[in-house]
């Protein structure tokens, strides 16, 4: 029996810990499968997907392909269709089906540190595929959501879809913020000194607020934004929690088994 092949599709993708995590799980459960990285430039996505179903049994999808990959799939699960983004592909006997496990991962990560989400005021940084899943999950949980993005037009479009408020990144004001979540790639390895909110500490102190601050980036574990928030006494939620929760759901979709361990792969 040949090994089934899986991969993570993104650009860039070298930072991804998915291969170590999933290959470790395949080995532990004695499943004949292997998992790879596929760095695919945006303009090459269509070409890559045309040969996908002949080679791969499934994939994770990351920045910047979560939205655009949908048009290359045969079917999109109802929840992923509502979110408007896909982060998991399952090759079901030659039929490519898209799913979204980011929403499960984001809410599971938040609930580990936030006991009440309903009625909370959440500020989301970014307007891409990860933002869509986070916003969908928060809205379903009863939060009030404000979307801030570098390109305001993108925030406005997303806000219209999900019935949220919107603004520019530089408009961030902690005064009415209970939950702050970064869904952008700003601060991701190797550019670990970058942050989407350079004045976060000053803003938090001026507003005398200590929101729960989460970053979907998991490498580094503590981004500059999380460090700044922690320095102000905020409770922080590392992206690794979301990563592990969504990865467990991905694994279950591919092989029909829940991972026996959600431990972090060694770097």
Q: Strand 4-10 relative to strand 58-61: parallel, antiparallel, unpaired?
A: parallel
Strands (E), 134-211: 144-149, 165-168, 179-182
List 20, 44, 55, 66, catalytic entry: 66
Which two tokens mark 13? 């993708």
Q: How far apart are CA 106 and CA 146, in angstroms?
A: 17
Q: How far apart are CA 265 and CA 66, in angstroms?
A: 24
Asked if residue 12 has a cis previous peptide bond (ω within 30° of 0), the answer is yes
Is 196:169 a contact under the CB 8 Å cutoff? yes
DSSP assignment letter at 2: P
Q: Strand 121-125 relative to strand 144-149: parallel, antiparallel, unpaired?
A: parallel
Torsion of CA 79, 239, 13, 44, to 10 degrees: 30
**Which one, of 38, 58, 61, 57, lies nearest residue 48 by Cα?**
38
Query: Catalytic annotation on 81?
Result: no
Which two tokens mark 8? 């993570």
Q: How far apart are CA 96 and CA 75, in angstroms?
A: 6
**Which one, of 84, 132, 101, lies nearest residue 247 by Cα?**
101
- 92 has which bridge partners? 95
Q: How far apart are CA 133 and CA 29, in angstroms?
A: 29
Question: Which residues are part of the catalytic machinery?
Answer: 66
């Amino acid at each position: 029996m040949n090994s089934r092949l899986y991969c993570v599709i993104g650009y860039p993708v070298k930072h991804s810990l998915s291969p170590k995590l999933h290959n470790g799980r395949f080995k532990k459960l004695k499943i004949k499968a292997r998992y790879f990285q596929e760095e695919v430039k945006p303009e090459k996505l269509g070409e890559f997907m045309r040969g996908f179903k002949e080679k791969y049994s499934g994939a994770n999808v990351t920045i910047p392909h979560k939205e655009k990959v949908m048009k290359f799939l045969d079917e999109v699960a109802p929840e992923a269709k509502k979110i408007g983004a896909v982060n998991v592909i399952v090759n079901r006997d030659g039929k490519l089906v898209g799913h979204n496990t980011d929403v499960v991962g984001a809410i599971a990560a938040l609930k580990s540190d936030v006991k009440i989400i309903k009625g909370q005021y959440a500020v989301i940084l970014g307007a891409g595929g990860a933002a869509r899943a986070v916003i969908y999950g928060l809205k379903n949980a009863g939060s009030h959501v404000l979307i801030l993005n570098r390109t305001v037009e993108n925030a406005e479009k997303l806000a219209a879809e999900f019935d949220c408020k919107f603004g520019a990144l530089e408009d961030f004001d902690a005064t009415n913020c209970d939950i702050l979540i970064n869904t952008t790639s700003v601060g991701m390895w190797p550019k670990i000194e970058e942050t989407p909110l350079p004045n976060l500490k000053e803003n938090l102190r001026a507003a005398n607020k200590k929101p729960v601050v989460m970053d979907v980036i998991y490498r580094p574990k503590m981004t500059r934004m999380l460090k700044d928030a922690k320095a102000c006494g905020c409770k922080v939620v590392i992206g690794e929690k979301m990563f592990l929760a969504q990865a467990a759901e991905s694994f279950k979709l591919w092989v029909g088994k829940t991972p026996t361990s959600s431990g972090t792969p060694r770097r």
